[in-house]
Structure 1
Amino acid sequence: MPMSDRPRLVFTDVDQTLITCKSLFEFLDYYAAGRYGAEGARRAAAVREDLCARTAAGLPREEANRVYYRAWRREPVAAVEEWARRWFAERSADKGFYVRRVAEELRAHRSQGASIALVSGSFRPLLEPLAEAVGAAHVLCARLDRCGRVYTGALVGAPVIGDEKRRLVRELLARYAHIDPADCYGYGDDASDLPMLGEVGHAVRVGALAGG
């Protein structure tokens, strides 16, 4: 069977791989300023500055993800979902939003029958509009804990970075026993994506494509 006719999965990181920005920070700024005005913008900037300082001091990225999500404590899930769709609609209209070559390659994979999986440390409200736009069938991402209708600021399970990305990729591959991982593709831009990329036969480092 020709390679293009074989069933396969295509895994892609999101920030600075499929899209050119760091969506978690951009969305936090957008949401905080939009809902809470100048005070919200100040709080979002403080979160960013604190994380930058901690990361520079050696805080692992997994822990940095946990710190980031604490900013969403007590935020209503419905409001976050609404504002995430609003952010995506506005931001994705920008010509430079997508990493063009990666988006084109994903379209080509889909036209050949492949299923796309987004694999990201981001969370579902921010990723679902993107998944719909690119036709991704799967979203493997951070899960935020809830208490009723609001977020608690805690993660359920591990941050989706490094080895956790690999675990989620393996888990999805196990659900498709008829698909050979050697026929699958992976796209990532960072060293933390290497564990995920190591699970597929065709790994693409796309840092050089950002902005292309």
Structure 2
Amino acid sequence: MSGARERSGAVRGAAFFDVDETLITAKSMFEFLRFWLARGGDDGTRYARHAAALRDMSALGIPREEVNRAYYQYFAGTYAADVRAAGRDWYAAYRERPDAFVTAGLSALARHRAAGDTVVLVSGSFRACLDPLAEDLAADRVLCGQLVVDERGFHTGEVVEPMIGRAKADAVAKTMRELGLAAGDCCGYGDHASDLDMLRVVGRPSVIGDDPTLGELARTHGWPVMSSAHGARGEE
């Protein structure tokens, strides 16, 4: 995915946005898993079991990258086209919620888009969830987990590299080089300490919400801190 600004060679800057709790209020991977399992007849029991297993891994201190990999195992053997279609249906329903979006994040994205900046979504989630959002928000690029698909079009349950922590920073830095931009030309938005590596790569980081780690750094370095207030699409 690349936007008209990139194709025209008119890139003046870039803005990199984390997604979950930065642009949308949901944990997209969990919400989509619930939606996907319900389509298969789950009454919530399987979802509760899978979600609890992932949360237990986090509580035990297992690295977020490994928890991310464990999540994608749930899609082993699924047809990629079916998952993509389900992602569009999930997002179409999700975007109608009155509390679906972080209004400050959407407002910032709209300002960057209007200014002609390249808008990039950066997330540990995957394209089934993110592509419909990117289209809705007119984002130019998506940097995310790339699921392995076999020659028949089925997910293997593996992800090439979790887009978590340092991987986010590396992907952002690579994109900046591809666009010919310096750090000072680029902004970043995140809500969680796991976004810190990404925020340090850009010249103008901003924090959304009240994460204590990011809040302390924001106070030390003078980074803007934005509200995590929720709203509907169109309220930004």
**TM-score calculated relative to the size of structure 1:** 0.92
Output the amino acid matched with 1:33: A
Match of 2:198 among 196, 199, 211: 196
**2:132 corresponds to 1:114:** no
Contact 1:8 1:181 in 2 (8 A): no
Match of 2:149 among 130, 143, 146: 146
In structure 2, C-alpha distance between the alignment counterparts of 1:17 and 1:61, rounded to whole Å: 18
Q: Which is helix-richer, 1 or 2?
A: 1
* 1:32-181 aligned within 5 A: 32-34=37-39, 36-38=40-42, 41-147=44-150, 148-156=152-160, 158-177=161-180, 179-181=181-183
- Please name the residue that 1:185 is paired with: 187
Question: Which aligned segments of 4 or more residues in structure 1 are displaced greater than 4 angstroms?
Answer: none
Aligned-residue RMSD, C-alpha = 1.4
What are the superposed Cα offsets for residues 141-163 of structure 1, whole Å, 9 maximum, x if unpaired?
Answer: 0000111221010111x210110
What are the superposed Cα offsets for residues 174-201 of structure 1, whole Å, 9 maximum, x if unpaired?
Answer: 1011x22212110001111011011111
What is the aligned-residue identity percentage?
39
Shift of 1:44: 2.3
Contact 2:17 2:121 in 1 (8 A): yes
- Please name the residue that 1:29 is paired with: 34
Structure 1's unaligned 5+ residue stretches are none
Aligned length: 204
Output the amino acid matched with 2:159: L
Q: For residue 73 of structure 1, give the secondary structure of its aligned residue in structure 2.
A: coil
Q: For residue 74 of structure 2, give the secondary structure of its aligned residue in structure 1.
A: helix
- Please name the residue that 2:20 is paired with: 15
Structure 2's unaligned 5+ residue stretches are 1-9, 211-226, 231-236
